[in-house]
Each structure stands twice: as structure tokens, then as C-alpha cells.
A = this chain, B = another copy of it.
């Protein structure tokens, strides 16, 4: 019986719904002030869900400072709902321009759009991280334009962590770049390895390349070329390339801590897993993340699902704060041979 087979025949534990409970993804972390720019105009249901998410995040984390980037009246609505004592933690960056879900992503180079202005505030050191629930292509464009890419990284990657049976599974790219290129797959393996180490404390991440089988003839051209590079020492430090992994291995985990794929396949798979959980029903501890970190740019950027709820936006803000506090962006930058990113200057507020 192979490893993957064993995993597929998961024996239901005697718990509530007959399924084992994966480890929690967000163990306790050091606190400290985290200054987060929030794009008030990003997402299908902005600004309502962003207002909701910002309020939830403020109430959950007393060390959080928010820069609300969007129209003053929307920001005022949030401030009015906050307890007096919390209002000093919120400031406003009045910007009216929006990049709608149907707009071309390139519109996000305009500094009068909320997503670009939020990324600009990060580039200027006014905040430690930025969160947008908008058009992911627009958020990537704004981040690249305002912050720049890390050295040697051609395509940034959206990075999501799923709860595997025996620990977190870092999946990237889940939607930033839709064409599969071997060089990007290898770069993303390096980024994902540093992320797994910095955020999840996995000292020696095992890296798998998502494919349609584990036999040597499987995979498309990009996958076969990437496998060759990964198999001959492209990964830094103690990371180990474990070879091709399959679709099962993303929700279940087991063979790899970091699973690398192109943004098209990763996006389709993540949403497929999400739909399957919805159909299976009633498994609240089994879920997919609706916020992803953008790796490969010089700073801490979190992009939420375009259909994010208020709770999703709040979890995106919490992820951004956690990434900042754990110094993830600096460690990812170091992994590709750069010093700390601009966004990781000492907080002085």
C-alpha cells in the first residue's frame, strides 16, 4: 500500500462528525503593534464586508492599528461604530478611486485607486502590511507597482495554508499567475519554503510539485522541467524536494509541507476543495483559507477572496498582523538573497 493510498482511506475518529481534527493553523504568536492598511473598496461586497471585517479585527486584537484607505464617509462609518477608546487606533487615508472586479488589473497602477494607495502607504513605511479583498489581479499589480518584486522573482505567488491531517499544507500559487512556467514553479518552491519556515515553524520543509500522477511520464512540459531543477538542488537550506504529489495530498497533507503549482491549477483546486467542504456540510473545523499572502513582493500583502465575508476580511487582517509579527516578509526576502523588505522597518507608532 502506498503512502497516498493509506491517506485516502482515512479512518474516521470517534469525534463529532466522524473525521479527525487537523491541528490548529494559528498557534499563539508574539504580539506587538501591527499597522495594517485596509482597502475599503476591494471586493464584490465592498465596502460593507470590509467595514464589518475591520470592526471585527479591531475588537479581536488590541494591538492592531488600522489605516482605512477609501472614501472618508465609509471610514467615518467604521469609526462611529468603534468604542471611544479604540478610535485612536484608526486613521483614514481618503481615496475615492476603485478598481472594480470587471476592470482591467492595470487600472491599479493609478495612485488614486484605494488598492494602489494602500500599497503606497506600505511602501512609504506608514503601515506594516496591506489587506485587500478586491480583484486579485489588481492587488498584485498595485503591490508590484508600489513595492517592487524581490530579486529574481518574476511572478509573485498567492500563498494559502490549508489544514492537513498532520499539520499545515502551504499551497502556492493559488491565483496570481495563470500561465505555468518551470522557472516560476521553482521560484515559488523557494518562496513557499521560506514561508513555511517563518510562519509555521517547519524547520526542514518537504516540497512537492503538484502533478497528475507520480510516474515519471506524468505532468506537462512545465512540470517536467521544474521537477528536474528541483531534483538537482534548487532549494535552499534544509528544504527537501520530495517529488510529484497529487490532488489528494493538498487537503489531506502527508507527503509535503509545501505544494507548488501554477496559479490557474491552484485556484481551481482550492475552490474545488472549498465547494467539496460546502457539499459535505457541517464540518466547521474543515475549511479552506479565504485570505492568501502575496509572496515575491517587497512587503507584507494579504489578498482576500473577492467574495469575502466580514469574517474573511477579519481573518485576512489577522493573517497580515501575524505575518508582520513573525517577520515573514524579511525571512522570505532573505531566502531569495535580499535583506529585510522595506515594510519591515521597526514600528515606531
Contact = CB atoms under 8 A, between A and B. Distances in A.
Interface of A: 2, 4-5, 7-10, 12, 17-20, 44, 101-102, 104-105, 135-137, 165, 175, 178-180, 210-213, 215-221, 223, 246-252, 261, 263-265, 267-283, 286, 306-307
Contact of A278 (B101, B179, B252): B252
A7 to B, nearest CB: 7
A248 B220 contact: no
A173 to B, nearest CB: 10
Contact of A269 (B20, B105, B135, B247): B247
B265 A251 contact: no
Contact of A268 (B102, B269, B277): B269
A267 B245 CA distance: 12
A267 B283 CA distance: 25
Contact of A275 (B137, B251, B278): B251
A179 B272 contact: no
SS of A interface (majority): loop
Given A220-B179, A279-B252, A281-B18, A274 B8 contact: yes
Contacts of A274: 8, 247-248
Chain copies in the assembled complex: 2
Contact of A179 (B210, B221, B247, B261): B221
25 contacts: A2-B307, A4-B307, A5-B307, A17-B18, A17-B281, A18-B281, A135-B215, A137-B218, A178-B219, A211-B264, A212-B268, A219-B264, A246-B268, A247-B268, A247-B269, A247-B270, A247-B271, A248-B271, A251-B272, A251-B275, A251-B276, A272-B273, A273-B276, A276-B280, A279-B286
Contacts of A250: 272, 275
